[in-house]
Amino acid sequence: MSTPLGDFIRAKRDSIQPDVLGLPDRGRRRSPGLRRTDLAARAGISVEYLTRIEQGRDRNPSVPVVNALADALSLDPSERNHLRYLTKITGGECSAHTQPAPPRRDVRPSVLETLRLLEPGIAVVTNRLGDVLAYTSGYELVMGGIGLLDVDAPNLTRYVLTNPDARTFFADWDDVADEQAFDLWLAPSVENSEWLIAELAPIAGPDFTRRFNRHVVPPRGVLRLNHPSGYELLLLREMLELSSDAQQLVVFLPADEKTAQAIDQLRPPGRLRAIS
């Protein structure tokens, strides 16, 4: 039975071409990417042991082995963090006794005050499930005309993965969909799995399942939006982790002068809305 750790290592191995790592091309391969024998050699472990890890028959590789695999796959810092997280999940360290509580929906007064100080800028508080918990008038200005905020409990993940309009609004929809699927791995798993199985997966279909299981760590570059007004908005994102609340405060900044001018043209008098 496969595990998140094994799935990630296999997916990453399949995505790497041997020449990128300075390895010779040994002709036709049964699968794309790096051979299992090459990865095992680079990591200093046996092919049999790597096979057991990838197939889920070994769920507790040691820290040195995990670090060696990260080095052998040339993982960047965010990918290394994800690998360590998946190692804990696979090894059972994130059991029901150690997992954090399901994400809270209330936003602390000090965080709401921070949002007020950011007015009339573009900022939002979410959790890893994509629930939109509080936002500034600037966020409503940008997101208010697409249907995301028209429901009692708006959820960005649900909107991106199931609403056809999202594919037009997000110019790089494929990347945004990867981001939302990846973030679900970082949500408290009890709440995550219940919400996933009961609601999102049946609606979003195989495309979501594929994104969720391939463990692609998103780069989170400039966000390109096709605003209903006709403007193309390019936004930089700065994220502040509210770790004690399992929430994030995300601030969006114009990436160029054209975007700044477009937002000024759209901007009405600001106000703050919070969803409880």
Mean pLDDT of 143-169: 94
pLDDT at residue 5 greater than cutoff 50: yes
Question: What is the pLDDT at residue 4?
Answer: 86
CA–CA distance, 261 with 263 (Å, rounded to integer): 5
Q: What per-residue confidence (pLDDT) applies to 269?
A: 52
Asked whether the predicted pLDDT for residue 22 surpasses 80, the reply is no
Q: Average of pLDDT values for 178-188?
A: 85
Per-residue model confidence as pLDDT tens digits over 199-243: 788 888 888 888 888 787 888 899 999 999 999 999 999 999 998
Long-range contacts formed by 47-52: CB under 8 A, 24+ apart: 50/9
* Residue among 222, 216, 231 at smallest CA distance from 262: 231
| Token pair belonging to 267 | 């901007």
Q: Note if the bond before 120 is cis, omega within 30 degrees.
A: yes
Q: Which of 174, 184, 246, 170 is nearest to 212 (CA)?
A: 184
Pair 107, 246: CB distance under 8 Å:
no
* pLDDT above 90: percentage of residues in the chain: 49
* Cα 124 to the center of its chain, rounded Å: 16
Token couple for 104: 């809270």
Pairing of the two strands 223-226 and 122-127? unpaired
Helix axes 63-72, 77-91, angle to 10 degrees: 140
Angle between helices 77-91 and 4-15 (to 10 degrees): 150
CA-CA distance, 100 to 257, in Å (whole number)?
Answer: 42
* Mean of all residue pLDDT scores within the chain: 86
Query: What is residue 100's predicted lDDT score, i.e. its pLDDT?
Result: 45
pLDDT in tens, 41-82: 999 999 999 999 999 898 889 888 998 999 899 888 888 888
Q: Kindly state the DSSP code that residue 185 receives in the 8-state scheme.
A: G
**How does pLDDT run across 71-103, given as a tens digit for each residue?**
899 888 888 888 888 888 887 755 433 444 556
**CB-count exposure of residue 152 (10 Å: 0-12, 13-18, 19+):** exposed
Q: What is the pTM of this model?
A: 0.73
Helix or strand (DSSP H, E) at 240: strand 232-242
Task: Give dist(CA 109, CA 254) in Å, integer.
Answer: 27
